[in-house]
């Protein structure tokens, strides 16, 4: 038998119909360049996610690969969070939407063919994220070679275009070298060559190279993504599904001592919390602390305690032997006690934050902390369910749902608008307004600032007016001529609303070092107003 290419077994990296994958990936690469190159993020992101999802499903249909139902539900949060990039302008919400959309997309790709996403443990999620990156980098190259060979084989055995391409690539550097030498040797030849180059408009070559690189890199990534979704190497084996990955060296005595001692410490802390924090402000001042000092201290430390406690419980649940039913019940009981104490600690952390906000108002960081600590506490629910059922692997899908819930909460809350609502309510109750901070928030905040500006309150209007004028000017310059791919619902609504405001009292002065306006008698640049804030006269500056 001859040792021909046809007689060799196919490589595990090879896939049939590689040209389909390359063609689909090239279309995705073109869409990346068309939607994102040199354009602010906006409508482009949900459009690309939708186009990419349809391309994956269409290729699966052509390749006769049925998507696993256990992963198909991910399309719902992927589509929703991608769409919110078009709706919300607040920076962290946008970042979380993009990051979670891409992370869920990676999970969908990994589970597209084999499914079993609900059987994943924590290690399975970590391993699959790593494999997603590795396959995205490594798989395009053999697929490209397969596509070239498959395309060449369709030329009736005559691969004429390959020698032509090789010849052009070899000749190109010599042509450049001799053109430079001959131009230096003869001025007339140099003029004629310059005319030819001007006709070719080589000024655009850097731009063309940048577009080409964008399309090429995006296409390579798309090949890796499509290949691992439609043609995975093999059925993924779950880590630790059949038997424990690690031995269980600890008995109930060791784990009981660890859990019991921590529970005693938590019990002492909780008792103090009920005496001082939950007992009213009078108890705090009697202990020698001011209201704000006690509220400010400890939120970060308590959050760390909650997170470390969860890690300890997961580790002990994985390493502790529970040979009998009574040992299992005792271990679960100690866990329930600790989780109950953690619940009080979570409430204590939230109470401290609420006390601080009562004095100094809301900021983005404090709002993020509210949402994060609540969902961090919620992680103990799937842990307890998984522990009671004897299926610790169930915690991982539960944690995934908590991440989805955290992202959905940020979107539903509308962070910047929520901050404005709370601070305006604070202003109505206490007569103090952090207008300098509100101006720095994203365009999501405009629906709350508009009525506030329209009130017959000259002190507030004198501060908000210059900031709103700067925002209107920025929107007009940055988004008026923006391409449709960068369209954004929040920016458009803010721009339309600002055009209706009577801002003619103020004027923007153009300056090479930064456009500025007058806030009272002070000259302030628009950058200071919109990005760092200024301390306004007559209104509170207590933003800590």
Same domain, residue pair 279 and 336: yes
Same domain, residue pair 202 and 98: yes
Same domain, residue pair 359 and 442: no
Same domain, residue pair 208 and 110: yes
Same domain, residue pair 343 and 476: no
The verdict on residue 6 lying in a domain is: no
The verdict on residue 520 lying in a domain is: yes
Same domain, residue pair 201 and 73: yes
Among 394, 413, 432, give the residue marking a domain's end.
413
Given this model, what pLDDT does residue 537 score? 37
Quick one: which H or E segment has residue 525? strand 522-525
CB atoms within 10 A of CB 476: 13
Please give the average pLDDT of every successive group of 10 residues along the chain, which has 544 residues: 39 73 94 93 96 95 90 94 96 96 95 85 90 92 84 58 72 82 81 73 71 92 94 77 74 92 92 64 50 60 89 92 88 94 87 76 86 93 93 92 96 94 85 81 89 75 84 83 89 88 86 80 82 50 37
Same domain, residue pair 302 and 360: yes
Any residues with CB less than 8 A from the CB of 128 and at least 6 apart, and which? 106, 107, 110, 111, 120, 236
Treating both helix axes as pointing N-terminal to C-terminal, what angle do 252-272 and 325-360 enclose, rounded to 10 degrees? 30
The verdict on residue 19 lying in a domain is: yes
Given this model, what pLDDT does residue 195 score? 76
The verdict on residue 539 lying in a domain is: no
The verdict on residue 167 lying in a domain is: no
The verdict on residue 327 lying in a domain is: yes
Treating both helix axes as pointing N-terminal to C-terminal, what angle do 299-319 and 380-389 enclose, rounded to 10 degrees? 20
Same domain, residue pair 404 and 427: no
Quick one: which H or E segment has residue 301? helix 299-319
Among 362, 394, 413, give the residue marking a domain's end.
413
The verdict on residue 4 lying in a domain is: no
Given this model, what pLDDT does residue 299 score? 74
* Count of domains observed in the chain: 3
Q: Cα(366)–Cα(343) distance, rounded to whole angstroms?
A: 19
Q: Cα(501)–Cα(524) distance, rounded to whole angstroms?
A: 21
The verdict on residue 242 lying in a domain is: no
Q: Cα(7)–Cα(25) distance, rounded to whole angstroms?
A: 30
Q: By the 8 A CB rule, do 377 and 345 touch?
A: no
Same domain, residue pair 393 and 492: no
Domain that holds residue 224: 12-160+189-234
Given this model, what pLDDT does residue 482 score? 82
Same domain, residue pair 140 and 34: yes
Any residues with CB less than 8 A from the CB of 232 and at least 6 apart, and which? 113, 114
Same domain, residue pair 35 and 97: yes
Same domain, residue pair 499 and 365: no
Quick one: which H or E segment has residue 293? helix 291-296
Q: What is the maximum alpha-carbon separation in the chain?
A: 99
Given this model, what pLDDT does residue 293 score? 54
CB atoms within 10 A of CB 89: 23
């Amino acid at each position: 038998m001859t040792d021909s290419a046809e007689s060799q077994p196919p490589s595990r990296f090879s896939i049939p119909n590689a040209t389909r994958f390359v063609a689909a990936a090239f279309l995705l690469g073109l869409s990346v360049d068309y939607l994102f190159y040199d354009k602010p993020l906006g409508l482009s992101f949900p459009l690309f996610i939708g186009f990419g999802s349809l391309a994956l499903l269409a290729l699966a249909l052509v390749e006769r690969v049925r998507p696993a139902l256990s992963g198909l539900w991910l399309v719902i949060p992927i589509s929703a969070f991608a769409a919110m990039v078009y709706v919300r302008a607040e920076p962290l919400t946008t970042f979380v939407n993009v990051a979670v959309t891409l992370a869920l997309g990676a999970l969908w790709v990994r589970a597209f063919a084999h499914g079993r996403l609900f059987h994943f443990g924590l290690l399975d999620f970590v391993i699959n994220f790593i494999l997603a990156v590795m396959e995205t980098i490594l798989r395009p190259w053999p697929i490209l070679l397969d596509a070239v060979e498959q395309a060449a084989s369709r030329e009736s055995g005559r691969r004429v275009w390959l020698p032509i391409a090789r010849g052009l690539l070899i000749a190109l550097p010599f042509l450049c070298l001799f053109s430079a030498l001959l131009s230096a040797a003869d001025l007339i030849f140099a003029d004629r060559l310059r005319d030819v180059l001007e006709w070719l408009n080589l000024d655009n070559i850097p731009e063309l190279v940048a577009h080409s690189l964008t399309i090429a890199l995006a296409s390579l990534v798309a090949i890796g993504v499509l290949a691992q979704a439609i043609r995975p190497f093999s059925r993924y084996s779950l880590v630790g599904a059949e038997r424990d990955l690690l031995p269980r060296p600890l008995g109930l005595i060791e784990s009981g001592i660890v859990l019991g001692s921590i529970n005693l410490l938590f019990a002492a802390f909780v008792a103090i919390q009920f005496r001082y924090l939950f007992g009213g402000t009078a108890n705090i001042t009697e202990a020698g602390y001011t209201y704000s000092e006690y509220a400010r201290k400890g939120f970060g430390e308590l959050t760390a305690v909650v997170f470390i406690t969860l890690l300890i419980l997961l580790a002990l649940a994985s390493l502790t032997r529970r040979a009998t039913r009574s040992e299992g019940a005792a271990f679960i009981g100690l866990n329930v006690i600790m989780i109950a104490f953690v619940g009080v600690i979570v409430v204590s952390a939230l109470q401290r934050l609420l006390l601080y906000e009562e004095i100094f108002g809301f900021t983005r960081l404090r709002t993020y902390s509210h949402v994060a600590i609540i969902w961090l506490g919620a992680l103990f629910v799937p842990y307890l369910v998984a522990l009671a059922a004897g299926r610790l692997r169930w915690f991982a899908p539960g944690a995934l749902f908590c991440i989805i819930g955290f992202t959905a909460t940020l979107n539903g809350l509308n962070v910047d608008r929520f901050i404005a609502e709370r601070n305006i309510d604070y202003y109505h109750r206490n007569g103090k307004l952090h207008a300098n901070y509100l101006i720095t928030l994203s365009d999501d905040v405009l629906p709350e600032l508009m009525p506030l500006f329209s009130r017959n309150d000259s002190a507030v209007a004198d501060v908000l007016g210059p900031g709103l004028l700067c925002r209107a000017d920025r929107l007009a310059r940055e988004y008026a001529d923006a391409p449709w791919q960068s369209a954004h619902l929040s920016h458009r609504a803010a721009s339309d609303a600002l055009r209706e405001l009577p801002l003619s009292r103020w004027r923007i002065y153009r300056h090479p070092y930064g456009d500025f306006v007058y806030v009272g008698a002070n000259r302030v640049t628009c950058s200071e107003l919109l990005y760092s804030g200024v301390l306004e006269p007559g209104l509170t500056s207590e933003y800590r």
